[in-house]
Structure 1
């Protein structure tokens, strides 16, 4: 299953539209006013299904992930010199990226590919393609990609 993640061009807070391969809106992400990033994910019917909340006052960036109102895990950036690495306190997952920070792989503890994330270039806003192996992991993978994008935004 592929998801197309597009940031909206004109919005006061971070806002994203998430489409499936047929171009249908699957999720809508809206940023909320808070200290640090707070992104709320809604399904196509307007129901809140997830949230990404940045923890402030930490040495390295850290984001808590909530699904249907329940805490499911945390994404934290690991110190590395060349390529970005993120540890996920969720099912033993971790994320490895390339030196340019455009492509990422979400892997489980045994190295099995959960999702591949590619940033599309030459767009006015951040645009990613998330290729998820199991559609049941799509929302979880999306929330971790949102956290990575928020972390990159905080750095810049």
Structure 2
């Protein structure tokens, strides 16, 4: 009797889990270093100029993230100050030169982050991006548009002429948050990396806040 009553609930749960997996798989465009470009990226945008891969340290007080190339060579590294109200993050290249800095605005309900890229680009991102239902967000200062699944950071980045700058994909089922960045405009490499790292840190903070309240 009990088994017969619980069966429909189990079926619904299985359908729900499978549905989430299918949707996530459909949206994901991740590929590992040395692998071919995701077939959908290739069909939609062609072969990227280069690919980069981010990997967050499992146990790190500094929220360290390494960005590597197809040969696993370090290209960029980001770290955040341990005790900082503004959550200051610095991104450096392989020669330890600063390429971008990220700082969170104090006392902001929208968790606004200011990003300064060496070379002149300055812009901001807020957690409102993760609440959008239309899966589209514009960085006003750049005129760039992000479109995709922000809750898992699977998205396409367009410039103000609607040309693809980069495609970002998250690796499913990984203990360490891993992302692939397929770059179609290498001139914007540092800015794209700064955007991805900022969003990674923001997403991590949102998840931590949700875990602490659950």
| Fold match (TM-score > 0.5) | yes
Provide Cα deviations, 1:55-92, integer angstroms capped at 9, x if missing partner: 13223232111123856222233474535544323330
* Pick aligned residue for 2:77 from 28, 43, 57: 28
SS in structure 1 opposite 2:167?
strand
Q: Whole-Å Cα distance in 2 between the matches of residues 81 and 28 of structure 1?
A: 29
| Structure-2 residue corresponding to 1:55 | 105
* Pick aligned residue for 1:141 from 192, 195, 201: 192
How many residue pairs were aligned?
156
Instruction: List alignment gaps of at least 5 residues for structure 1.
Output: none
TM-score normalized by the length of structure 1? 0.87
| Structure-1 residue corresponding to 2:116 | 66
Higher percent of residues as strand: 1
Pair 1:12 & 2:67 matched = no
| Superposed structure 1 runs of 4+ greater than 4 Å apart | 78-81
TM-score normalized by the length of structure 2? 0.65
Instruction: List alignment gaps of at least 5 residues for structure 2.
Output: 1-49, 208-214
SS in structure 2 opposite 1:123?
coil
Higher percent of residues as helix: 2
1:27 Cα deviation after fit: 0.6
Q: Bigger shift: 95-104 or 119-128?
A: 95-104
| Structure-2 residue corresponding to 1:91 | 142
